A and B are shown apart, each in its own frame.
Chain A
Amino acid sequence: MATTYRTCPVSGLQFEDQAEKLMRWNAVAGVLWLLVGGITALLVILTRWPAIKLLPADQFYLILTAHGIDMLILWILFFEMAVLYFASSTLLRCRLATPKIAWLGFWLMVVGGITTNIAIFQGESSVMFTSYVPMQAAPHFYLGIILVAVGALLGTAVFFGTLVVARKDKTYQGSLPLVTFGALTAAIIATFTILAGAGILIPTFLWSVGLIKEIDAQLYRMVWWGLGHSSQQINVAAHVSVWYLTAAVIFGAKPLSEKVSRFAFLLYILFLQLASAHHLLSDPGMSAEWKVLNTSYFMYFAVMASMIHGFTVPGAIEAAQRRKGYTNGLFEWLRKAPWGNPVFSGMFISLVSFGFLGGISGVVLGTEQINMLMHNTFYVPGHFHTTVVTGTTLAFMSITYLLVPVLFRREMILPKLCQIQPYLFGISMSVLGLVMMGAGTLGVSRRHWDMAFSGAPFQYEWPGAAYLMMGLTGIFGVIAVVGGGLWILLVVGSLLFGKKLDGGKVSSQPTPIPPSTQAASAVAHGSDHVGVPGTVVLALLLFVSFVLYYFVNWKYLSEVWLLS
C-alpha cells in the first residue's frame, strides 16, 4: 500500500502516514476516556469525603465501577496502543504492518468501551472493575470488555508485525532501541494478559446469558487476576519505556548499560505474571506454600527489575548531565535539570512517586502475612493510585507535552500552565495515595459508601484519625482532579487552538536509521565513562525507606490477634 513518511523538523522523528493517524486517534480516544474517568473520579471523591457524601449508595457504586473501567482499561489501553505504534513504526522508521487490522482493532476497542459503559450507566452492572462472581452484570458489560480485549490483541499483533517489517526492510541495523525493546516486553505481557482475560471473561459472559450454570468464586479470582494484575505490568513496562524515552529525548541520555536495562525488562516477562497471586493472599482456597512461592517465585526478581530501572533511569540522566558539565557536588545534574519543562518534570515526579510510594507499598502489600493488615482496605487503592496514576498516567501525560507539537503539529497553549500542571497533578496525587494508605492502615474499607454504617444493627466508630485521613483524601483528591482536568484542557485546547507547526518534509520512502559509526562504538566502550554518585545516594535512600517500612509492618502484624 502506498504511504508517505514525514520527518518532523523539531524532533527529527519520522512518522509514517497510517501510523501517525492511528497514534492520533488512539491518543485522542484515550484522552476522552480520561475525561469520563476524571468526572467519575470527582464524584467518587466527593462521596467518600465524609463531610460531603455527595451521591446515594446505588449511584456511588455505579460511578465507581465506571471510574475503574474507564481509567484502568480504556484510558490506559488506548494510550498504550499509541505508544506501541510509536515505539515500532516511528522509532524504527518503517511502515506500519497491516494498518487495516490496526483500524479494526481501534474500532473494536471503541465499540467495546462504549458497550461496557452503556451497561454500567443503565445501572444493572455496578459490579466494580473486578466483577467478582457470583455477583452478575448485564451480558453486554462483559461483551464490551471482550471486544476491547480483542481490539487490543489486534493492535498488539500489528506491533509485532511492524517489528518484522522493520527487520525485513532493513530500516535499522543491529538490535532494537531500548524503548522499543521495553514496548516489546509490554506487548508480550499484553498477549498473555489478554489470553487470561479471555479465559475468564468469555465463560463469565456465557454464564451471564445462562449458558453456563456456575463459576467458582475462587477460580474466577485466580484467573481474573491473571488479567487484572498482569495488565498493570503492561503499564509498568510501558511507562518505564516512556521514562527511557523522555531521558533520551530531553537529555540525549543513553542507558548506563544496555545489557542491564534489557535484562530487567526480560525479568518483567518472566516474573511479573506471578504478581497476580498478590490478590489472593487472604483467600481461603490457596495454601500458604502456593502463596509464598507465587508472591516471590523465591527471589523477587520482578521487584529487582523495577529496582534496576529505578536506578538506571536517573543514572542515565545523571551521566548525560555530567557529560554536559554539570559535575559539581552530588546533585548539580539534578538541580540544573529542566524543571520548567513539563516533559521532564512530569517524568521525574512519576519516577520518584512510583518508586518511593507505589513500589514500596506494593511489595509490602504483596507480602503473604502482611497482606492481612491491608487486604481490601483503602490502602489498596492508595497503593495503585501511586503506581498506575502517578506512575503510568503521569508518565503518559508528560510525554504528551512532547507529542502534541511533534505528532499533532500544534504548539502547546498557555505554557505557564503547562509548566505547573505536572507538579499540581503529580504532587496532589502522591499525597492522595499517601493519605489513602494512611486510612487503609487504620482499617477503612475500599469500595464502601458509608463510614457511619447507617442501617446496620450495630455501631462502629472509626478512629478520629481515619476521618482525618478521609477528609484529606477528599481535599487532595479534588486538587488531583483539577490537575488532571487542567491537562485535558491544555491538550484539547492545544489541539484545537494551538499554533499550527510546520509538518516537515514528506517523502514516499522511509529514511533508514543511519548505522552507528566506528567512532560512536568506541565512545560507547567506556572512554566517556562517568560515575553517578547522585543516583547512588537516591537509590540508597529508596532502599533504606523500603527496609524500614517493610519491617514496621511486621511490627504492626505482630501486635494483632494470634492467627494460625
Chain B
Amino acid sequence: MSAILPPSDRLWWKQPIDKVEWAWIAIAFVWGMIMFAMMIYWHVFGKQNLSNETYRTTPELFAAKAEKFIAENTIRTETDQNIPVVKVPAGGDGYLIARLWSWYPILELEKGQTYRIHLSSLDYQHGFSLQPVNINIQVLPGYEHVVKMTPTKAGTYAIVCNEYCGIGHSSMLGRIYVKGNQ
C-alpha cells in the first residue's frame, strides 16, 4: 500500500505509467540531451574552453623553463621584493609558477592578443583564480598546463590562490597587467 510495504501489486512492473509521469520523464530526458549538446556546441562555437594541452613535467624542469623566460623578457621589477614584471611576447609563451606562497612572476599582457600561458606548481596543489574576471583553473605539480588566454579588457588583475595550500595560502596573491592597445 505504501512505500514502506512491499508493492501491493506483485506484478508492479506491469502497471502502466501515468501520462503525466511520462511527460515529465520526457522533459527531463530532452533537457539532459540539450545540456549535453550545449557543452559540445560551446567547444565548436564558444570562445571560452579550457585548454587540453598538458605535458608531464617536474618542478625542477618547469622552474628552469620559467627562469629562462623571465631572464629573457623582464622589463622591470616591482615591490620591495623586486618581483620581475615580464612582458609576454604577443602570441607567445608565458610561464607562471605557483609555489608556497606566491605566483611568480608578474605577467604583462596586451589586450586582444592571444598568449600561451604555462601553468604549473613547484610544490603543493594551487588554484589559479583570476580576479575580478573570475576564471578558475586547478594547478598541479608535475603537470604543465598550457592555457591560451586572450584578455578582453585592459587593467590590473589579481591571481588569488583558491586551492588550500597551507598556512600562507591567504597571502598567495599574484598580478597580471593588461595594457590597452597602443
Contacts and interface: CB of A to CB of B under 8 A. Distances in A.
B5 interface: yes
Interface string B148-182: 11111000001011111111111111110000000
B175 A458 contact: yes
B46 A369 contact: yes
Nearest to B29: A304
Given A135-B165, A260-B25, A374-B136, A547 B31 contact: yes
A253 interface: yes
A245 interface: yes
Contacts, number: 320
B69 interface: no
B132 A443 contact: yes
B141 A296 contact: no
B137 A372 contact: yes
A284 B32 contact: no
B134 A377 contact: yes
Interface in B66-104: 79, 81, 83, 102
Contacts of A91: 4
B140 A536 contact: no
A445 interface: yes
Interface stretch (A25-33, A94-102, A287-295, A493-501): A287-295
A325 B174 CA distance: 65
Output the residue of B13, B46, B50, B119 with the most chain A CB within 10 A: B50
Given A376-B129, A443-B129, A543-B27, A562 B138 contact: no
A283 interface: yes
B7 A175 contact: yes
Contact of A61 (B33, B52, B140, B164): B164
A62 to B, nearest CB: 10
Interface stretch (A76-84, A112-120, A147-155, A448-456): A448-456
A281 B135 CA distance: 13
A557 B38 CA distance: 13
B17 A260 contact: yes
A177 interface: yes
A285 B161 CA distance: 19
A550 B161 CA distance: 27
Interface string A167-200: 0000011111111000000000000000000000
Interface in A251-278: 252-261
Given A218-B143, A285-B140, A456-B171, A563 B148 contact: yes
A372 B48 contact: yes
B138 A376 contact: yes
Contacts of B129: 376-377, 443, 445
Interface stretch (A37-45, A382-390, A523-531): A523-531
B156 to A, nearest CB: 9
Nearest to B144: A284
A446 B162 contact: yes
Given A288-B52, A453-B173, A562-B114, A217 B35 contact: no
26 contacts: A134-B125, A175-B10, A179-B3, A217-B125, A217-B140, A217-B142, A259-B13, A260-B17, A284-B144, A288-B43, A292-B43, A296-B36, A299-B36, A307-B24, A308-B25, A367-B38, A369-B49, A372-B136, A376-B127, A376-B163, A377-B129, A543-B31, A554-B42, A557-B46, A557-B48, A563-B135
Given A255-B3, A561-B152, 8 more contacts: A134-B123, A134-B124, A135-B125, A176-B6, A252-B1, A256-B18, A447-B164, A523-B8
